[in-house]
Chain A
Amino acid sequence: MSWEEVPGFVEVKEGHGETTVVVERERIRDACLYARDELGFDFLADLVATDYLGWDEHAVSGYIGTAAGRDLNVPMTQGFQALPQGKPKRFSMSYHLLALKHGAPRVRLQCWLDDGDEIQSVVSVWPAADWHEREQFDLMGIQFVGHPNLTRILLEDDWEGHPLRKDYPIGGEPVRFSDAE
């Protein structure tokens, strides 16, 4: 089994013991169907949208590790920070799939979208996606084409805006002596 046969395949990334298969946004439903039928990933664990607005605007640092492990006397990366790699588009949609077999193989199907892009709903592939897609529509504003009931689920029906986007303020009330916290 090779990941290149997934419809709309773009690339595969491995990290922290996890496999991420990036597919094209237009073919995501075909990719999910392929994963369910051919590869045996019957269980949709999760469906997550991530907003990367402002990702490449602030510096990040990783760890300084020495060969023998991390050393108390090696300083942090002040002044040597790098800018993170930019992401292809603003939103990523990740589908976390699980096969109910020995070894619990997992995969993350991922596709990228811009604000206003539409993505096909996978409710007909896994009915569990119903509420997950409604939640991502509610909190992130992703439009799912083909969803039978795309309405707000966690917030009130007349709420304006999509709170989990990075340009939506945290809300609440101002607190003295605290900036963001």
Chain B
Amino acid sequence: MTIAPERPAGARQWPLVGEPPYEGSRIPARVPTILDVPPALREVDDVLQVNFGPNHPSTHGVLRLIVDLDGEQVVGLSAVIGYLHTGFEKNMEQKTWWKAITYTARVDYVGYQNNELVFVLAIEKLLELEVPEKATWMRMLLCELNRIHSHLVYLGTSALELGAISMFWYCFRERETILDLFEMVCGARMHTRYFQAGGLAEDIPAGFFPECRKFVDLMPSALDDYLAILDRNQIWLKRTKGVGLLSAEDAIALGQSGPVLRASGVDWDLRRGAPYLAYDQVDFRVPVYTGCDVYDRYRVRMDEMAESTKIVRQCLDRLERMEGQPWIADDRKVVLPPREELHTSMESLIHHFKIVTEGYRVPEGEVYVAIESPRGESGVYVVSDGGPKPWRVHFRAPSFAALEATATCTHDALIADLIAIVGSLDAVMGDTDR
């Protein structure tokens, strides 16, 4: 493999904060995603190869790590994925556009509404469809609630793996409240399938806003609880500070995004850099830390939960004034007509029939839409042939990119650090394997 020529340092124009934690690049030279055992070590010492098999107690799903150990130190690492490969992309080519939206939620099954959102945004981009304001703000609200949900699952499970077992129950207590809100909106706790091409599937139910306000009011005190448990705990600090260093340059070269990139000092968030939905109309801060380690990734996610709560509060303020506004676009070629019209209008009946059986047709074209999911840049590349079914759907999975960085982060790490590092990258295997 020929190494690409070095770039002159002044050419980089990234929004960088802080100093890199190490000189140069730690990306392994032979294969960027495999940490090789130094040949000298193999001859001198006893290197044990251990399989962190697909079934292991850390709840990150079916990831297999083949780890070479010199005593307790990790000297070689290679990740094997694919144990959850579901063939989403092939399956979605067989279904109509409407049915394909159902599949997207299962890709990143912790931040499920973000996947639905990105696919629905791609369909709307191809259709050049305008979405009503109410739907945009509600989508934003639900995606931010989903971000809090995802970070709670991350926090609960990561803390569980590092030994702070009681955090799991605290995080899942708030998580249940969020899932109650999702259930109120559309009937299902997970995999809500609430977004349609054009807006929302149904109107926002009565009683949702007061319940959501109750959640928003209780969340800051819950976050204080979590900080109180973890942030001054010496064991937590010793196990996460200085572990899993990834400089900004390496992170960008490895395609990292989201909290991992922001913990490495790069001030980059798609909600700020390329606002979608109505993110340019809400006031929130993007947390950036410079430590490049596991601790800072944890802090970024904690701060993001607080900022998401702020965004949800602002969305609630706007949405409460939009009573009675339409929740889905008016384009009857794409959107089902209201059921009352089916009794009286022949065109409505025909359109309903055609949309449900054959599916609506999306004009020919290719688009790539990316949003800031809880894991980073989650994107979808959609090619339409003008028919009722997608021609090609490809998900840009942030977890796929995150796991590419395991080898680089695991320099001079012990086994216990490896668990912390894999947890901090927050990879969801459904997202990785698709």
Contacts and interface: CB of A to CB of B under 8 A. Distances in A.
15 contacts: A15-B366, A45-B370, A46-B394, A48-B381, A50-B391, A58-B385, A62-B363, A102-B273, A123-B32, A127-B32, A131-B33, A148-B31, A155-B85, A170-B91, A180-B94
A10 to B, nearest CB: 16
Interface residues of B, number: 73
A29 B32 CA distance: 18
A62 B364 contact: yes
B190 interface: no
Nearest to A125: B4
Nearest to A15: B365
B126 interface: yes
Interface residues on A, range: 35 or more
The 10 lowest CB-CB distance pairs between A and B, nearest first, are: A60-B386, A128-B255, A127-B32, A104-B274, A154-B82, A46-B396, A154-B85, A62-B363, A124-B4, A104-B273
Contacts, number: 175
Contact of A124 (B3, B85, B257): B3
B418 to A, nearest CB: 19
B351 interface: yes
Interface of A: 15-18, 20, 33, 36-37, 40, 42-46, 48, 50-51, 55, 58, 60-63, 69-70, 72-73, 76, 84, 94, 96, 98, 100-104, 106, 108, 121, 123-128, 130-132, 135, 139, 146-149, 152-156, 163-164, 168, 170-171, 180-181
A144 B74 CA distance: 30
Contact of B394 (A15, A48, A103, A155): A48
B353 to A, nearest CB: 12
Contacts of B85: 154-155
Interface of B: 1-5, 7, 11-15, 27, 30-34, 81-82, 85, 87, 89-91, 94-95, 99, 125-128, 252-255, 257, 266, 268, 270, 273-274, 331-333, 347-348, 351, 354, 361, 363-368, 370, 377, 379, 381, 383, 385-387, 391-392, 394, 396, 400-401, 403-404, 433-434
